[in-house]
């Protein structure tokens, strides 16, 4: 799998479109994503380590639409692959973990960018 940089996987145009000029909406949406995403990552990490495929798949399923909302289609596609593989019983645990770690690396870099955007937007309030 080719290396993907985080800036290739972050497009906030949908967020800005539905915010319709509301800085408060943008700040609150980003804050929620910044809180929920690490929690879901922890759930998936624990579940993969324990080979609890059902729980890992459920957490990946919860994370997937959030990635789409925040314009991370590459990460969303990869987490969908993780979800499907988990639902199939984790037949290739090493590949699932590799894909999940790729998503986590991409998204964690984007979390830094989102925190910066949130801070800038909060200053506008």
- What are the domain boundaries of the chain? 8-13+22-120
- The yes/no answer on whether domain 8-13+22-120 falls in CATH 3.40.50.9100 is no
Pair of tokens at residue 81: 């692959």
Rounded to whole angstroms, the Cα distance separating 118 from 123 reads 9
pLDDT at 116: 95
Q: Is the pTM of this model over 0.85?
A: yes
Q: Which among 104, 95, 101 has a CA at the least distance from the CA of 67?
A: 104
Q: Distances in Å between the alpha carbon of 78 and those of 26, 72, 81, 104?
A: 25, 10, 5, 10
pLDDT at 91: 85
Torsion-angle region of residue 75: left (phi > 0), alpha (psi -120 to 50) or beta?
Answer: alpha
Rounded to whole angstroms, the Cα distance separating 2 from 94 reads 17
Rounded to whole angstroms, the Cα distance separating 30 from 47 reads 26
pLDDT at 1: 46
Q: What are the pLDDT tens digits along the chain (125 aa)?
A: 445 565 678 999 999 999 999 999 999 999 999 999 999 999 999 999 999 999 999 999 999 999 999 999 999 999 999 999 999 998 899 999 999 999 999 999 999 999 999 999 999 99
CB burial of residue 45 (10 Å; 0-12, 13-18, 19+): middle
């Amino acid at each position: 799998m080719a290396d993907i940089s985080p800036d290739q996987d972050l497009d906030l145009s949908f967020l800005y479109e539905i915010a319709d000029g509301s800085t408060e909406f943008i700040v609150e949406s980003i804050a929620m994503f910044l809180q929920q995403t690490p929690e879901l990552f922890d759930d998936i990490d624990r579940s993969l380590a324990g080979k609890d495929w059902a729980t890992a798949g459920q957490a990946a399923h919860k994370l997937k639409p959030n990635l789409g909302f925040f314009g991370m289609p590459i990460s969303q596609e990869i987490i969908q692959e993780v979800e499907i593989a988990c639902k199939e019983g984790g037949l290739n645990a090493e590949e699932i973990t590799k894909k999940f770690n790729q998503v986590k690396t991409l998204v964690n870099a984007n979390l830094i960018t989102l925190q910066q955007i949130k801070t800038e937007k909060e200053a506008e309030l």
